[in-house]
Amino acid sequence: MPNQLARNLLGVRIDLTEARDVFLELLAWRRAGRRGYVTLVNPHTVQSCSRDPEMLAAVRDSDLALPDGVGITLASRLLGYGCARRIAGPSLMLELCNWGRSAGLRHFFYGGGEGVADELARRLERRFPGLHIAGALCPPFRTLTPDEDEWMVQTINGAAPDLVWVGLGTAKQEKWMAAHVGRIQAAALLGVGAAFDFHAGKVPWAPGWVRRAGLEWAYRLAHEPRRLWRRNLDSPIFLARVGAQMAVHTIASEHVST
């Protein structure tokens, strides 16, 4: 991925690109035998990075950090980075499952609540005839023992996937990918969180017009207020920090011009 696409947003790298280019990049990784991982960055991710150095390192070390969330695309415009296209995890999953059929991509689903990964795989297989499903695993929510973790790794590797979709929730999935990239012999690990519940039919996904209007956050909050109210407090703090970064850029530009 060209370096000029990388931008600094509050100390977190964002790679401004499009879903089709991500697909082509992952195919290139597979051809080259490369092992990488992909993070999806939204305002909550950025705020989590500011509080958790391990999370920041996991996002920083990812091979692609994609702009997810209307707050990220708005911040990109405000900071003069251009009109970034949002690449949401649930949409990316559908696109790569669709496009990947012609390339023979093999998909593995790791995460979600009990039975979610299996249901997700079944639904996607019905939706995309010819889709290659390598397998699915739902780990327990607790920390795995070293033996359990090794068994999970060997099970995934034994299925020989090209893409491993990881749905463990923000922070946990990023840290898991950072710890397992290379150990898992897949071209890419992709942390997509809520995509598992959406596409398995466990949680309603916002209608297309709501997503296009940038109101998915409100739709999700209305459907899961107990789980998401605290997370949404990050958004105004994020925007305030973006404003401060804008001010720094403005002052620096004025200083250079004088």
- DSSP string computed for 62-123: SSEEEE-SHHHHHHHHHTTS--PPP--HHHHHHHHHHHHHHHT-EEEEEESSTTHHHHHHHH
Poorest-pLDDT segment among 34-48, 149-163, 210-224: 210-224
Determine phi and psi for 79, rounding to 5 degrees: -90, 5
pLDDT at 150 over 80: yes
Distance CA 132, CA 97 (A): 9
At residue 34, the pLDDT reads 96
pLDDT at 256 over 60: no
- According to DSSP, residue 52 is labeled -
pLDDT at 145 over 70: yes
pLDDT over 70 for what percent of the chain? Answer: 80
Distance CA 110, CA 130 (A): 20
At residue 258, the pLDDT reads 53
Distance CA 255, CA 234 (A): 32
**pTM assigned to the model:** 0.85
pLDDT over 90 for what percent of the chain? Answer: 58
Judge contact between 191 and 183, C-beta under 8 A: no
Distance CA 70, CA 214 (A): 6
What residues contact residue 91 under an 8 Å CB cut-off, 6+ apart? 19, 211
pLDDT digits (tens, 9 = 90+) for 110-143: 999 889 999 999 999 999 999 999 999 999 888 8
pLDDT digits (tens, 9 = 90+) for 42-99: 988 999 999 999 999 999 999 999 998 788 888 888 887 776 688 999 999 999 999 9
At residue 138, the pLDDT reads 92
